[in-house]
A and B are shown apart, each in its own frame.
Chain A
Amino acid sequence: MMHLLAADPTLADFGKDPLWITIIKAVMLFVFLMLGVLFGVWFERKLISRMQHRYGPNRAGKFGLLQSVADGLKMGLKEDLFPRTVDKVLYLLAPVIMVVPAFLAFSIVPFAPMVNLFGVQTPLQLVDLPVAVLFMLAMGAVSVYGVVLAGWSSRSPYALLGGLRSAAQVVSYEIAMGLSFVAIFLFAGTLSTSEIVKAQEQTWFAVLLIPSFLIYVVCMFGEAARIPFDLPEGEGELVGGFQTEYSSSLKFALIMMGEYLHTFTASGIAVTLFLGGWRAPWPISLWDGANVGWLPVLWFFIKFVLTFSFIVWVRASLPRVRYDQLMALGWKVLIPVNLAWILLVAAVRNVVINEGDRMIGIGLGAVIVIGALAIWMRFDTVNQRRREARKAQVEAEFEELSKEPVAGGFPVPPLDLPHYHGVQHKEIPSGTN
């Protein structure tokens, strides 16, 4: 029993570290994230180019491994430009606001259970709070300020549009994302990440709560502004979006780092909340030693890299959606579906686990389902009637136009030219000149 307790840290295990252990953990996390950005960029470029039958970066270092280092050096050595009309304070501050919360948000991700760090038993997680997941959401909310301010302070229409898009997009997708965590909170009974990982000892929440997981995966792209939802950047329509006026100097490097850190946070949260955190995957988890000591770091890292690869894969596969499609998906699909799913989860939990009154539960459920069906059928018939009327109108118009092609109809050549009407067709046998 003691052994199990040592392996699975809870909230009570935090806040006991000596200061130097906390500092070491913070430095380790920082180094992990910095190296993660350097090699994450290389990994993404390499993976995506393999998916597109290219080689990708292969000049700097073995396999192009040093490509990001070279890029970073170049960005550091370039002249730091301030376009003439920008709002200097905010223009400089915006990349910083983007990066700092992104680092902070990762601090609640557990990498491993209790480990022996220089002779001290400590959970391999920088900090845990009773509201750790909410803290992550809060940091996400703060870092949008960076994007919005970068857009506003640039004093350029493209940048401003990118900033506005980002503000609306992130606020919308944060709602759906927060709702997708609710089912987890119901099952885990806590908001602390270490205890959520602990609650996934039997089943991962990705299996138990598939709808929540799928909704989170969609929201993850919206929140991290990755393709298919990278509309704040949208180089097809907005040149560079909010970062149009940031030339490739250190400020741009910060922006890029912030974006990668957000993607990492999204992957880390997906792994922690849905994919069992540092727990070993199924066949390995039968072995008792798999979830003890430093080994779980490996499981966490594998899951983390696979999730990141999935995000890259999606980028290679899907085109960018239109802005109204993005908003419609967020508000009209993800949020209502999520609410219905939470209702179902809460009802089932209440009836099955807490042994609440079965009759009340079933009765209320029946009323809700019948009501929803009635509303849906009412609106569906109205919509269907509209669609049919529209189709009939288009067909009638088409009929009319094809009857009289020359009277302002479709641009076709006149159909009464002489050679259409039985003018002698001279046969030319082959072999004649």
Chain B
Amino acid sequence: MLLTAAAALGDTAYGATVRQEIEKATRKNCAIGAIYTTIDRLEAKGLVRTWMGEATSQRGGRAKRMVEVTPAGVKAAKEFYSAVMRVSRTASWAPSGVGRLI
């Protein structure tokens, strides 16, 4: 989910925006600790790349930790999405036609 949120945000992906995106999609609160530990794990696997970005007054002059999905991350996210779609093929909640397209 973090990979998808970061990919969707593109150049504006960092802790706060990724968290906001996930909360919007899941309609649930998401702890900042969960975001940062997941980013660390994904970075260790080479699926995302992070660096310290610029500071803004909106953030009290503090820098952002920017996130970028690597090509390996895009591949892993695509594979995961395909697997979810395939396994959901016969699920009662899946719209008809899902899985056949993949």
Asked if A and B bind, the verdict is: no
Residues of A near any B CB (own CB < 8 A): none
Residues of B near any A CB (own CB < 8 A): none
